[in-house]
Amino acid sequence: MISGPSGAGKSTVVFKAIEGRTDFCFSTSVTTRKPRPGEVDGREYFFIDRARYDEMVRQDELLEHAEYVSNGYGTPRAYVEQKLSEGMNVVLDIEIQGARQVREKMPDAVMIFVIPPSMEELRRRLVSRGTESLEVIEGRIRRAKQEYAEADFYDYLIVNDDADRAAADFAAIVRAEHLRAKDRLQLLNGGHL
Ligand code: 5GP
């Protein structure tokens, strides 16, 4: 799971880190937010209305879900479960309340928090993206500050001041997590993975 304020550059970091790897996939979330210019339904998100979202919540079709600055977001359960059962690494780009829910259900999930070098830089990135009103940007900054105050349960913290370095940090975390002794004990007995 990768979390951090909108504008921290999470998806850039992850895409850079896993480029060309076939053992990774991304979970595509549902959201009630309207698409930004350039966003495509089924690629960045499945864009759905509130009624469908509420129904997915009721039918337990979402692994986790949360409200973020007046919109609902959620992770479709079936895709994640299918890919995990195929042995894939599944990346979820989700905010902190959702990350908490996933950790409860999947204690082995690795939690990474990505932040921009400063709040000023975050504001600058959100303004220069030009896709949100100043009011929404202020809402996102307030939300980012709240998230920082609660993010101490994450396993890793990456500062995205340079996308290449941040991607290398992400790759290092993935590599280390795959070397955990508890998942490799058979090697100690002459076995194979
Ligand atoms: P944005 O509107 O900028 O695409 O995303 C806003 C926030 O929602 C980001 O922090 C992003 O990580 C989070 N988010 C995206 N998809 C999901 C999801 O499926 N569940 C949860 N809990 N958060 C999500």
- Residue 83 domain boundaries: 28-87
Query: Is residue 189 in some structural domain?
Result: no
Residues 74 and 162 placed together within one structural domain of the fold: no
Please indicate, yes or no, if residue 109 is contained in any of the structural domains.
yes
Average of per-residue pLDDT values in the chain: 95
Using the mean position of ligand 1's atoms as its centre, give its distance from the Cα of residue 30 in Å. 9
140-159 pLDDT per residue, tens: 999 999 999 999 999 999 99
- The per-residue pLDDT for 131 is 85
Which domain CATH number covers 132?
3.40.50.300
Question: In the 3-class helix/strand/coil scheme, how is the chain assigned residue by residue?
Answer: CEECCCCCCHHHHHHHHHCCCCCEEECCEEECCCCCCCCCECCCEEECCHHHHHHHHHCCCEEEEEEECCEEEEEEHHHHHHHHHCCCEEECECCHHHHHHHHHHCCCCCCEEEECCCHHHHHHHHHHHCCCCHHHHHHHHHHHHHHHHHHHHCCEEEECCCHHHHHHHHHHHHHHHHCCHHHCHHHHHCCCC
Q: How confident is the model at residue 193 (pLDDT cuts 50, 70, 90)?
A: confident
My answer on whether 104 and 126 are in the same domain is yes
What is the tens place of the pLDDT at every residue in 22-77? 999 999 999 999 999 999 999 999 999 999 999 999 999 999 999 998 999 999 99
Q: With a 6 A CB cut-off, is 101 part of the ligand 1 pocket? A: no
Query: Nearest 5°: phi and psi at 85?
Result: -70, -20
Quick one: pLDDT band at residue 129, thresholds 50, 70, 90?
confident
Q: Based on the structure, what is the number of domains in the chain? A: 2
CB 6 within 8 A of CB 123: no
The verdict on residue 11 lying in a domain is yes
Ligand 1 pocket member 68 (CB < 6 A): yes
Instruction: Note whether 146 and 136 are same-domain residues.
Output: yes
* Residue 124 confidence (pLDDT) above 90: yes
Please identify, by atom number, the ligand 1 atom nearest to the C-alpha of residue 2. Answer: 12
**Residues 52, 146 within the same domain:** no
Residues 132, 100, single domain; the answer is: yes
Judge whether residue 6 has pLDDT over 90: no
Nearest Cα residue to atom 20 of ligand 1: 74
> Given strand 156-159, what is the order of strands in its sheet?
2-3, 112-115, 156-159
Could you tell me which residue, 151 or 6, shows the higher pLDDT? 151
Domain assignment present for 48: yes
- What is the average pLDDT across 83-101? 96
Whether residue 167 is predicted with pLDDT greater than 90 in this model: the reply is yes
Residue 29 CA: nearest ligand 1 atom is: 19
| Domain match, 19 and 101 both | yes
The predicted structure's pLDDT at residue 15: 93
